[in-house]
């Protein structure tokens, strides 16, 4: 029995010491975290435009490894088509933009939990996603495309070789489309864009399906790869997304996008960020100005 | 010499960014280990208890943490705390919580094993020398346990450093994420950069983990 008493004493002493230690250690990293805004105070998951203005900071989820839409340059600065728009939002709201690095697979979670106010991460509008988040007016057109090696180009999915595999990134439109429409095609799923790219270049799959902008840019910049299928599935749009039910930020974004149309903001954005990658030939096809999709 | 695209590492602040990312990974591991070791020792002592309820509870905790993939735990803590409790915690804090929970479970099991491995005659000999139970622990049991534990807990540090590569999924920009950002930003000017940059990351992990691993080996030989 004496042994147990000793253990109890040790236990109590350690618990006391540790509760202090863990407080000190645990709090330290929180102070330099990017997203420590408190959402709990209002009860709602999301913040309204007024709350964002009051805090002086807006948290915008962007890709940090998806050139030329959202990436980080060699000076640690976020750049790209989505980022150019995000910076303008910050300017017009008069707040500092806090960029949060998101992955394709966790964009919805960030909004559902209010960890970001807006997602501008090349987010394609789909009915499934619209059930979980609210999309503002679109600012870009997109459809799917398939890139494959020039030596073995894939021009149609109908004569798919059963042994071949297709690369997709988890959580993207391409994954959903292929699963629904081509259930027989074996998919190789990757969590990050960089890993998918490496996999194609290492020859571990026959082709890579992704947004057509991505595959066009990829084939123009990488020798030996061609876009055998430039458009696949329905034409979609890319739009900013906010937490479900956040009418305040949604309304503000819609007004902003409509107003920016008069100064051809997204054309300027395209020329500043995308022209280097896609050339000017694709400008009218890709850009949506003022939130209205041309027929 | 094939083009590994190593030049991208010397563009702008890229090298400093990579080292900064490595520091994020090491910092999170060290903080987690620092908290895990005392918590783990505590858990290990509790686990040697003969009370069936305490035994069951600690066992369930240990198995739960071991069976769940760390990525799932990270998502639960990072997003789950916000949706379930309305508390918004940063990715760094969520990582420290998950790694601490994991480290505590692993340490607890190591401590339990080390305590059990002390032969019964050690306790009996101590009693024969008229040592009190607290003296027995202080002068006989704990010194022997610590010797067996230190190499094992040092190994836990290297395992944690390697597992930090998962925290990029909850928005923490650590060394691997910085590497992916550098590769992506330069994919047109240096399409081969992936190999060189990943190789550099590999070397960075090695330079950090190898000395730690060697230290564990030396201590194991010295005290084993």
User: B-chain residues within 8 Å CB-CB of A223?
Assistant: 191
CA distance B183 to B17: 13
Q: Please, which pLDDT band fits residue B21 given cuts at 50, 70 and 90?
A: very high
Q: Do domains A44-139+239-281 and A142-236 have the same CATH topology?
A: yes
Residue B188 near chain A (CB below 8 Å): yes
ipTM: 0.76
d(CA A242, CA A250): 7
Angle between helices B14-47 and B91-117 (to 10 degrees): 40
Burial B180-191 (b: 16+ CB within 10 A, else e): bbbbbbbbeebb
Alpha helices in chain A (DSSP H): 2-31, 49-55, 81-93, 107-112, 127-130, 173-181, 193-201, 212-221, 247-261, 265-269, 275-278, 283-286
Show which of residues 138-167 on chain B sit within 8 Å of chain A, judged by CB atoms: none
Digit-coded pLDDT (tens) for B107-156:
999 988 888 888 889 989 999 999 998 898 888 888 888 888 888 888 88
A219-271: per-residue pLDDT in tens? 887 889 988 888 888 788 999 999 999 999 999 999 999 999 999 999 999 99
Interface test with B, best of A5, A8, A64 (most B CBs within 10 A): A64
Please answer yes or no on whether A25 and B133 come within 8 Å at the CB atom: no
CA-angle at A20, arms to A19 and A25, nearest 5°: 100
CATH number of A142-236: 3.40.190.10
Q: How far is CA B78 from the centre of its chain?
A: 18
Strand blocks (E) in B70-221: none
Q: Output the average pLDDT for chain A.
A: 83
| CB contact A123 to B (< 8 Å) | no
Give me the domains of chain B, ranges plus CATH numbers.
6-223 (1.10.3720.10)
Question: According to CATH, what is the number of the domain A44-139+239-281?
Answer: 3.40.190.10
- Best of B44, B171, B176 to substitute, by most chain A Cβ atoms within 10 angstroms, is B171
Rounded to whole angstroms, the Cα distance separating A78 from B87 reads 28
Alpha helices in A161-211 (DSSP H): 173-181, 193-201
Cβ distance B82 to A193 less than 8 Å, yes or no, reads: no
* Residue B2, pLDDT score: 61
Buried b (16+ CB within 10 A) or exposed e, B58-94: beebbeebeeeebeebbbebbbbbbeeebebbbbbbb
CB neighbours of residue A243 within 10 Å? 26
Contact check, Cβ <8 Å, B83/A36 = no
Four-residue CA torsion sign, A272, A274, A277, A279: negative
CB within 8 Å: A11 and B45: yes
Q: Does A113 touch chain B (CB under 8 A)?
A: yes
Residue A14 contacts B, CB cutoff 8 Å: yes
Tokens at B28, concatenated: 């999170």
Distance from CA of A252 to the nearest CA of B (A): 24
Report the C-alpha gap between A200 and B44 in whole angstroms. Answer: 47
Which residue ranges make up each domain of chain A?
44-139+239-281, 142-236
């Amino acid at each position: 029995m004496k042994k147990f008493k000793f253990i109890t004493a040790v236990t109590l002493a350690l618990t006391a010491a540790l509760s202090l230690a863990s407080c000190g250690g645990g709090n330290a990293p929180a102070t330099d975290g990017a997203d420590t805004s408190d959402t709990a105070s209002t009860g709602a998951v999301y913040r309204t435009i007024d709350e964002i203005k009051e805090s002086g900071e807006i948290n915008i989820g962007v890709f940090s490894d998806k050139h030329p839409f959202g990436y980080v340059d060699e000076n640690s600065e976020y750049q790209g088509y989505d980022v150019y728009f995000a910076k303008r939002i910050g300017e017009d709201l008069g707040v500092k933009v806090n960029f949060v690095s998101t992955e394709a697979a966790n964009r919805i979670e960030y909004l559902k939990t209010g960890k970001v106010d807006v997602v501008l991460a090349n987010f394609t509008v789909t009915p499934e996603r619209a059930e979980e988040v609210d999309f503002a007016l679109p600012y870009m057109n997109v459809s799917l495309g398939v890139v494959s090696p020039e030596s073995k180009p894939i021009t149609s999915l109908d004569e798919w070789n059963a042994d071949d595999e297709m690369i997709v990134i988890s959580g993207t439109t391409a994954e959903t489309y292929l699963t629904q429409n081509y259930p027989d095609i074996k998919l190789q799923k990757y969590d990050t864009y960089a890993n998918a790219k490496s996999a194609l270049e290492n020859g571990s799959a026959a082709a890579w399906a992704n947004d057509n902008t991505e595959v066009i840019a990829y084939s123009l910049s990488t020798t030996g790869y061609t876009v055998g299928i430039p458009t696949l599935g329905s034409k979609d749009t890319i739009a900013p997304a906010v937490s479900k039910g956040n009418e305040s930020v949604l309304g503000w974004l819609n007004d902003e996008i409509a107003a920016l149309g008069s100064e051809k903001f997204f054309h300027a954005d395209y020329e500043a960020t995308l022209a280097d990658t896609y050339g000017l030939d694709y400008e009218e096809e890709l850009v949506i100005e003022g939130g209205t999709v041309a027929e | 010499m094939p083009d590994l695209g190593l030049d991208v590492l010397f563009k702008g602040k890229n090298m400093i960014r990579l080292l900064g990312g490595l520091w994020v990974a090491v910092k999170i591991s060290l903080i987690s280990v620092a908290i895990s070791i005392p918590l783990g020792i505590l858990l290990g002592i509790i686990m040697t208890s003969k009370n069936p309820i305490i035994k069951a509870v600690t066992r369930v905790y240990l198995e739960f943490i071991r069976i769940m993939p760390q990525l799932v735990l990270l998502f639960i803590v990072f997003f789950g705390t916000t949706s379930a409790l309305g508390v918004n915690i940063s990715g760094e804090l969520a990582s420290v919580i998950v790694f601490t929970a994991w480290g505590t479970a692993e340490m607890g099991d190591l401590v339990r094993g080390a305590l059990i491995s002390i032969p019964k005659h050690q306790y009996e000999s101590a009693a024969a020398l008229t040592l009190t139970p607290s003296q027995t622990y202080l002068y006989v049991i704990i010194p022997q346990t610590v010797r067996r534990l230190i190499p094992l807990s040092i190994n836990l540090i290297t395992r944690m450093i390697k597992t930090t590569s998962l925290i990029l999924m909850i928005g923490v920009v650590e060394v691997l994420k910085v590497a992916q950002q550098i590769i992506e930003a330069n994919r047109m000017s240096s399409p081969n950069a992936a190999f060189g940059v990943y190789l550099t990351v590999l070397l960075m992990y090695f330079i950090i983990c190898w000395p730690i691993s060697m230290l564990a080996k030396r201590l194991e030989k010295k005290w084993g």
